Amino acid sequence: MNAILHQICRDCAPLSALGAVANYIPELAKADPEKFGICLYTGGGNANFAGDFLERFTMQSIVKPLILLQALLDSGEDAVRNLVGVEATGKPFDAFNYSDQALTGAHINPMINTGAIALCTLIHGDTYEERFCRLLELARQLSGNPELGVDEAVYHSEKATGNKNRALAYMLKAYGMIHDPVEDIVDCYFRACSIRVNCVELANIAFLFANHGRDFRSGQQLFPAKHARYVNAILATCGMYDGSGEFALRVGFPAKSGVGGGILGVVPGRMGIGVFSPALDKKGNSVAGIRALELLSQELNLSIY
């Protein structure tokens, strides 16, 4: 397996030249596009890795499955379903557009910013600071690193420039979908996006979703299997932004990317994968990361379809 990963590393790392690091959050523009790392957990929890697998980067949208899981744990499936839908487009089959329609939960899903921002309101806690701390605890538990923390520079950079996310949150508020102060909610979201991980920690999180919540080390059920199925299904249909269909064809398993360059890959019952390369394609997905997952999927026959 290590030989396969090293070959993938050699083949894919140069592909970063075809993409560009995110710069709409100024601090992210400092990422080194040459970095490439991959880690995967299989079977009884054997880890394999190659490249810059210990390099740290911010989770960004990869935290969305964790926001969804925490909302499911705290408020239950009905509350989550009532607030945020599960459809990739949220549009009827013959829609031209629905830009003048009132926004409802049916139009959004947990893997886009509006959905994730709305779901922060279903995480329990007296303050949004407390809600974020609970989410960070979940990330620490699932990643296997109790020291996981926030990249303060990225957090402040996003907070200073994240007006589009504020606008989305105000839209949710205008349509009565959220009620708390927008600044508190988006602060929780910005902090969550700024949690720093490496490929090993991502693979750990992914492996738990692959094993439906059961920790291979302790044999403990860390979260209910039905929540893992919920999250994995949404990742399969919506996890790679508007590149999710293409990803399903080329790679074929649930995954979530983030604009920090990471991708979390979940091969149900088989494998958890963390891959990182910060240069992104036009849709915001890591160019080399997607190709690495595609090669791995071909090599090991990982497509679930």
Question: Contact residues for ligand GLU (CB under 6 A)?
Answer: 60-61, 113, 158, 165, 193, 258-259, 284
Q: CA-CA distance, 39 to 276, in Å (whole number)?
A: 9
C-alpha to C-alpha distance for 148 and 52, rounded to whole angstroms: 18
Distance CA 204, CA 124 (A): 25
* 267 catalytic residue (yes or no): no
Cβ-based neighbours of 45, under 8 Å, separated by 6 or more? 207, 216, 217
Give the shortest CB-21-to-ligand GLU separation in angstroms: 12
Which 8-state DSSP code applies to residue 101? S
Contact 195, 58 (CB under 8 A): yes
Q: Nearer to ligand GLU by C-beta: 193 or 264?
A: 193
CB of 148 to ligand GLU, least distance (A): 17
Least Cβ distance, residue 61 to ligand GLU (angstroms): 3
* Catalytic residue from among 259, 267, 275, 287: 259
For the question of residue 189 being annotated catalytic, the response is yes
Q: Which two tokens stand for residue 164?
A: 């589009």
What beta strand segments (E) does the chain contain?
37-42, 46-51, 57-58, 196-197, 255-257, 262-267, 271-276
| Catalytic residue list contains 61 | yes
Mark out the alpha helices in 84-198 (DSSP H runs).
Answer: 113-120, 128-143, 152-161, 163-174, 182-193
Q: Which is nearer to ligand GLU, 42 or 60 (CB)?
A: 60
Q: CB-wise, 13 or 25, nearer to ligand GLU?
A: 25
Q: Which is nearer to ligand GLU, 151 or 158 (CB)?
A: 158
Q: Kindly tell me which of 51 and 258 has the beta carbon lying closer to ligand GLU.
A: 258
Amino acid at 97: N
Shortest reach from residue 123's CB to ligand GLU, in Å: 17
Q: How far apart are CA 110 and CA 66, in angstroms?
A: 10
Token digits for 30?
Answer: 């400092």
Question: Choosing from 128, 189, 286, 297, which is the catalytic residue?
Answer: 189
Residue 155 phi, psi (nearest 5): -60, -50
By beta-carbon proximity to ligand GLU, the closer residue of 188 and 208 is 188
Rounded to the nearest whole angstrom, what is the least distance from the CB of residue 109 to ligand GLU in the complex?
A: 13
Catalytic residue of the set 91, 175, 241, 283: 241
The reply to whether 283 belongs to the active site is no
Candidates 16, 35, 63, 64; catalytic one: 64
Q: Annotated catalytic residue: which of 16, 35, 61, 150?
A: 61
Q: Is 241 an active-site residue?
A: yes
Tell me how far, at minimum, the Cβ of 177 lies from ligand GLU, in Å. 17
Catalytic residues: 61, 64, 189, 241, 259
